[in-house]
Amino acid sequence: MTPTAKIGLFMLIALVVLAVFIFEIEDIQIGKGGNQQLITARFPSVAGVDRKAAVRIAGVRVGKVEEVRLDGVEAVLELSLDSNVQLHEGASAQVVNMGILGDKYVEILPGNPGTPMLAPGAELRGTVPPSFDDVMRTASVIGDDVKQVTASLRSSVGGDQGAATLAEIVENIRELTESLKVLIAQNQANVNATTENFRAFSATLRDELPLIAEKMNRLADDLNEVVYENRDNAQASLANIRELSEKLQSTADNLNAITGKIAAGEGTIGKLVNDEETVENLNQTLGSIDTGVQALEESLGRFDRYRLDMTVRGEGVQEADDGRFAFGFDLWTTDRRFFRIEGVDTPWGKTSWQTEVVTVTTPDGDTETTVTEKFKTEDKLAINAQIGYRLFPTTQVRAGIFESSGGVAVDHSVLLGQRPLRLTFEAYDFNRALADDPHLRLEGRFYVTEHIFVLAGWDDPLFDRTSSVLFGGGVVWTDEDLKYSLGLAAGALN
């Protein structure tokens, strides 16, 4: 071979080696460019990651970084992955160090295999581990804290005061050890006694265990003998059980025969079951009974929905020697309608004007007639019989008989603090003989508790003869209170 040929061959080999190095360094893959898949990953920072950096899954290289670019304040990596890499929803990426001082690469977490695959061109969200600078910054903060702690220790322990404190601590430890030594010495006898008790217990257990085991064996032998001796009785019991089962079988056969006759229409029960006319009449009868029961249930249900309130009240009347007393019931048939029946003992009774004519004959035979008008009061029990209707949650109206005369009323409730105040206006006795104006009554009733109230008001303000201020109070028992009281009374009588 000529020298020229040798030089040419050497240059050819050098060029091949150089090409191999270039392909390895630049990571050029011949014939695989069309089989790669491209995805993007967005990171807050990719410090230390450059083009051609490795992309790995579970530590295995599956691609490389094709491009690094800045998008706003975030870094975006274009990743080239092998075609056989499968990424699922929930996949993410992170920047990882290859060892402590190794290069950085991109680690991909492919996601849960049970979830759908990522669409082509999807973007992964990336995270960045703490950098060396972050570690140094944290170490610096820790160092500052350590400095502060040592400074505190130096200020607390250093100097004469600190030495005195340490000496006091050492003295306290010495006194504690002395106390412990004395305590142990004082309780040495108790400890020895406890140890001796355990030793005696273990010795007793060692001696008694064989006896207990022997007694258990003897008990087992006695049980075997009892079972052997009562074998005949056990066999007789089994024979009785067998005889009883045979009788039960006979009873079942008889029941089958009876039910067969009923199904065939034999006998009274069979005709009742199989005769359609009889069955229809029976169904009609049962239907009538069911209708009656439903009507009774509806009547009882309506009665159960009724609510009964009982009220007892007394009033002092300023212009009368006696007071007004009332006792009655409010029957609520619905949530909005009620009926009121009350007996009222009023101080005025039944009032009227009475004309009195007195004729006197003088000794000389002349007559003198005197006519006088007297205000007459009859002590009679008045009646309240009214129907009420609730217009609004706080307002209700009443109409009917008020103290044995016709009238109307309005009740309105307001809250005074946390308790209700009921304001009442009543007008009745429109055709009374004593005055042209009706009898008016203004009343305010404040409920001190749910059942006790006090009242004040103005009675008959338009008629001077009976106009007066009134005040008093009363008690209200609800339906449940009455039931409870009646139950207590019945229990006391029994």
User: What pLDDT is recorded for position 181?
Assistant: 85
Query: How many structural domains is the chain composed of?
Result: 4
More confident residue, 371 or 296: 371
Average pLDDT estimate for 4-16: 81
Q: What confidence category does residue 120 fall into, taking pLDDT thresholds of 50, 70 and 90?
A: confident
* Cβ proximity of 312 and 474 under 8 Å: yes
| Burial grade of 201 (CB within 10 A; 0-12, 13-18, 19 or more) | exposed
Asked if residue 301 has pLDDT above 70, the reply is no
Q: pLDDT of 314-328, one tens digit each?
A: 988 776 667 888 999
488 and 453 assigned to the same domain:
yes
Q: Residue 273 and residue 258: Cα distance in Å, rounded?
A: 13
Two structure tokens written together for 121: 């061109």
Element (H, E) at 302: helix 276-305
| pLDDT greater than 90 at residue 244 | no
Statement to judge: residues 8 and 91 lie in one domain: no
The pLDDT assigned to 351 comes to 63
* pLDDT range class, residue 196, cuts 50, 70, 90: confident
Mean pLDDT estimate for the chain:
80
Of the candidates 333, 346, 341, the one whose C-alpha atom is nearest the C-alpha of residue 385 is 341
The residue segments making up the domain with residue 211 are 203-233
Which CATH number fits the domain that encloses residue 322? 2.40.128
Asked whether the beta carbons of 308 and 330 are under 8 A apart, the reply is: yes
Name the residue type at position 77.
Answer: L
Residue 60 to residues 16, 89, 230, Cα–Cα distance (Å): 29, 21, 80
Judge if 208 and 115 occupy the same domain.
no
pLDDT of residue 161: 75
Q: What is the DSSP string of 218-275?
A: HHHHHHHHHHHHTHHHHHHHHHHHHHHHHHHHHHHHHHHHHHHHHHHT-HHHHHHHH-
Distance of CA 398 to the CA centre of its chain: 43
Same domain, 43 and 17: no
What would the mean pLDDT of 279-296 be, rounded to a whole number?
A: 66
289 has pLDDT over 70: no
- DSSP-assigned states of every residue in 421-447: EEEEEEEE-TT-SS-SSPEEEEEEEEE
Output the CA angle 411-415-416, nearest 5 degrees.
115
Query: Cα–Cα distance between 422 and 457 in angstroms, integer?
Result: 12
DSSP state of 365: S
Long-range contacts of 186-194 (CB under 8 A, 24+ apart): none
- 267 within a domain of the structure (yes/no): no
C-alpha span between 142 and 134 (Å, rounded):
12
- 132 pLDDT exceeds 70? no
- Is the model's pLDDT at 43 over the cut of 80? yes
Q: Across residues 373-399, what is the average pLDDT?
A: 84
The answer for 115, left when phi > 0, alpha when psi is -120 to 50, beta otherwise, is: beta
Instruction: Using the Cα atoms of residue 229, residue 233, residue 238 and residue 242 in order, give the sign of their dihedral.
Output: positive
Report yes or no on 25 lying in a domain. yes
Based on the domain organization, do 326 and 471 belong to the same domain? Answer: yes
Mean pLDDT of 268-290: 65
d(CA 160, CA 277): 120
One domain, residues 343 and 470: yes
Q: Provide the pLDDT confidence category of residue 23 given band limits of 50, 70 and 90.
A: low
Residue 272 lies in a domain: no
- Domain boundary residue, one of 128, 163, 179: 128
**264 lies in a domain?**
no
Percentage of the chain with pLDDT > 90?
18
Length of the chain: 494
**Tens-place pLDDT, residues 333-357:** 888 999 999 998 887 666 666 677 7
pLDDT at 456: 94
209 part of a folded domain: yes
Higher per-residue confidence, 351 vs 120: 120
Section 267-291 average pLDDT: 65
**Rounded to two decimals, what is the model's pTM?**
0.38
Do residue 8 and residue 39 come from a single domain? no
Per residue in 156-190, pLDDT tens? 666 777 777 778 888 899 989 888 888 888 888 88
pLDDT given for residue 189 in this prediction: 82
Question: 227 and 97 share a domain?
Answer: no
Q: Is the residue at 478 inside a domain?
A: yes
**pLDDT value at position 279?**
63
Please write the tens of the pLDDT for every residue from 442-491. Answer: 999 999 998 899 999 998 888 887 888 988 999 998 877 766 666 666 66
Residues 20 and 44 in one domain: no
Which of 128, 144, 172 marks a domain boundary? 128
User: Is 180 within a domain?
Assistant: no
Three-state DSSP class for 287? Answer: helix
Q: Of 128, 161, 182, which marks where a domain is finished?
A: 128
Residue 293 has pLDDT above 60, yes or no: no
Domain shared by 93 and 224, yes or no:
no
Q: Coil, strand, or helix at residue 100?
A: coil
Q: What is the pLDDT of residues 138-158, one digit of tens each?
A: 888 888 888 887 777 777 666
Tell whether 124 is covered by a domain: yes
Residue 58 corresponds to which tokens in the numbers above? 């579970």
> Are 58 and 88 members of one domain?
yes
Same domain, 430 and 325: yes
Measured distance CA(337)–CA(124) in Å, rounded: 72
Backbone angles phi, psi at 267, to 5 degrees: 80, 175
What is the reported pLDDT for 83? Answer: 82
Both tokens assigned to 474: 């009363």
Give pLDDT tens digits for 70-92.
888 899 988 888 888 888 888 99
